[in-house]
Chain A
Amino acid sequence: MTTLIVIVGYLCLLLALGFFSNKLFRGTSKDYFVASHSIGPFLLLMSVFGTTMTAFALVGSTGKSFERGIGTYGLMASISGLVHAAIFFLIGIRLWAFGKKHGFITQIQFFRARFESDSIGYLLFPILVLLIIPYLLIGIIGAGKTIEPVTAGAFPALFTNPTAPQWLGGVPPWLTGLVVSLVVLSYVFMGGSRGAAFANTFQTIVFMIMGLVAFVFIINALGGVNNTGKVPARINDKGLVVQDYQFDKQKAQLTTNVPPKPVGRVVDFEDPSLSDQQPHFWREPVKVEFKKKNPKTGELIPFERELGIPFITFVTYLFIPLSVGMFPHLFQHWLTARSAKSFRLTVIAHPLCIMIVWVPCVLVGAWASGVLPPGIPPPAVLSAMLTLLVGDPVLIGLLTAGVLAAIMSSLDSQFLCLGTIFTNDIVIHRAGEKNYSDKQIIFIARCFIVVIVALTYGLAMLAKNANVFDLAIWCFSGFSALFPVIFAALYWKRTSKQGAVASIIAALLTWLYYFHQSGYGGEYMVGPGIVPAAICFVVAALVLIVVSLFTDPPSEETLTKFFPEKSEL
């Protein structure tokens, strides 16, 4: 119960921040959508980083490392440090410059002007909404999965149908999702992009500090930094995956299992070099059979999991972080920048911030393989480690608030962005800006945000068992497939309207095909382990090039507008 009180206190603090940012709100639609281009370097870094690091970063990375080991970091984090920073530099600054000069507030406005086409906006709008919804879902699902374990036992008479038997009485995911949605909705509703920037900064600081505090406590509970390396599950000479330790909650210390506890077995164990290896500490793929308990019947059900990462998967994952170039919510954050110089801190510090957050999470996930049952749902690994290893309820509450902070700092930007593009690219675009007052424009955006929050919440309840990491990868894959359009729009004069439209359609169709093949959100690789994003990207890029070359180039007027001469720059 103490833990829950701390979490509720944090949410109330956020609401207070929402009221505060509402006081700073200038009342104009430009301020509501892009904070009147007034955000400086530190707020930009925190809001961009907070937006890109969601449940995926904390909950997802820990869960994925629990499943596949330390390769998770190279797979998404270190390559993102390189690719994201390059995109901020090459695309972010350029879009900010065009946005500021020509008054663009949304991505769609840029594309409509660059490709001299209204229809491209109507084509892109539903696609952007379709792709961003999985991103929203992971936030709400991740929040639900995090809160239930840490509040287990708080209301045993009230919440009698837990996700897992040991979490009886914990706040159920439907209630957490509802509360988180309402809190985010309230401060976005009140403060718009300025409110989101303030809230993101506050929440990013909270989740970074709390993440490091959690890391220190977990290390201490595992017997100190030099002992942590012995904790992950190990393969013994018979090919069994064993846990050498368990955490004794009574004594609050790690104790040795004598003999080591078997939790799985290597499938077709023949390679003696696997003996005594900790598969979560390397990246060579190893197929292991584990067992998990059916929560309803108590029956043990075998399941297979591939530990490690195939090299081809690792290489082709580089296409996933390209998604950042097409995130509409990030576009909106870029436009809030006061000047191009505001980007400098983000370009340098973004890879370091990723490292500060991801390294501890990936290590905790790998260590968890040695003390948690292998059948635990991956999104619940982080909170299960906190509950198991950090005894103090106040601290658990603060650490959990840190996880919620990471989740909400992305949700706010995404909700706001959808409200912004609907209002500007559909409503105002059709009816004309002169037909609405500034107040009406803000009202329409707020109404659409309410609708999207409600829709997202409903979908999150339907997809409550989805894997947060895998669902996020599907969202990123779709945006990566659209990347050739934004890159070509900025750097290739010959890109035509028809080329852009064909590329968007090709990206959508290939993405839908593979999404369907995956069973709508599961982990899916093509052939020897190629990520679908790589194929979607290549198809979209080829279609863009071929169709552009066979159709008319943009008008001279447009080319002058978007490719000014050096002397004009």
Chain B
Amino acid sequence: MGKATVWALFVILFFLHQDFWWWEDSNLIFGFMPIGLAYHAAFSIACACLGFLAIRYAWPHDLEKFADDHD
């Protein structure tokens, strides 16, 4: 996995955010959580996973060294 994959996942997540397919759905999951809200809560977890992948595979090591070298 490289930077391009991380960027591709970012774009996919952006489109997944526009969940027009749940717009008129007020069904509950787990008996209390409206499906539109549950979906977006899961989306937040997906964002955290993407952050993890970005750090693992697209971390700016060079930039870090560049700043630390000039203390």
Give chain A's interface secondary structure class.
Answer: helix
Chain A residues within an 8 Å CB radius of B36: 70-71, 74, 281-283
Structural contact, A74 and B51, CB atoms closer than 8 A: no
Structural contact, A564 and B34, CB atoms closer than 8 A: no
Structural contact, B26 and A77, CB atoms closer than 8 A: no
Structural contact, A352 and B37, CB atoms closer than 8 A: no
Beyond A74-B36, A89-B55, A352-B44, 20 extra complex contacts between A and B, CB < 8 Å: A70-B37, A71-B36, A78-B43, A94-B60, A97-B63, A97-B66, A101-B70, A277-B26, A278-B26, A282-B25, A318-B17, A339-B68, A344-B55, A347-B54, A351-B45, A355-B41, A363-B37, A366-B34, A564-B66, A569-B62
Chain A residues within an 8 Å CB radius of B33: 229, 363
Q: How far is the CB of A145 from the nearest CB of chain B, in Å?
A: 25
Instruction: Choose among B32, B43, B55 the residue that contacts A226 (Cβ–Cβ < 8 A).
Output: B32
A275 within 8 Å of B by Cβ? no
Structural contact, B34 and A89, CB atoms closer than 8 A: no
Q: How far is the CB of A75 from the nearest CB of chain B, in Å?
A: 9
Instruction: Choose among B45, B64, B67 the residue that contacts A355 (Cβ–Cβ < 8 A).
Output: B45
A85 within 8 Å of B by Cβ? yes
Structural contact, A341 and B64, CB atoms closer than 8 A: yes
Interface residues of B in 20-34 (CB under 8 A from A): 20, 22-26, 28, 30-34
A416 within 8 Å of B by Cβ? no
Give chain B's interface secondary structure class.
Answer: helix
Structural contact, A347 and B51, CB atoms closer than 8 A: yes
Interface, chain B (partner A; CB < 8 A): 10, 13-14, 17-20, 22-26, 28, 30-34, 36-37, 40-41, 43-45, 47-48, 50-52, 54-55, 60, 62-68, 70-71
A530 within 8 Å of B by Cβ? no
Structural contact, A569 and B65, CB atoms closer than 8 A: yes
Chain B residues within an 8 Å CB radius of A100: 67-68, 70-71
Separation of A283 and B62 alpha carbons in the complex (Å): 45
Structural contact, A340 and B23, CB atoms closer than 8 A: no
Structural contact, A70 and B34, CB atoms closer than 8 A: yes
Structural contact, A225 and B31, CB atoms closer than 8 A: yes
Structural contact, A348 and B34, CB atoms closer than 8 A: no
27 A-B pairs whose Cβ atoms sit less than 8 Å apart in the complex:
A74-B40, A74-B43, A77-B40, A78-B43, A78-B47, A82-B17, A82-B43, A82-B50, A85-B54, A89-B55, A226-B32, A229-B28, A229-B32, A229-B34, A281-B26, A281-B28, A282-B23, A282-B36, A283-B24, A284-B24, A314-B18, A348-B55, A351-B48, A355-B44, A366-B34, A569-B62, A569-B66
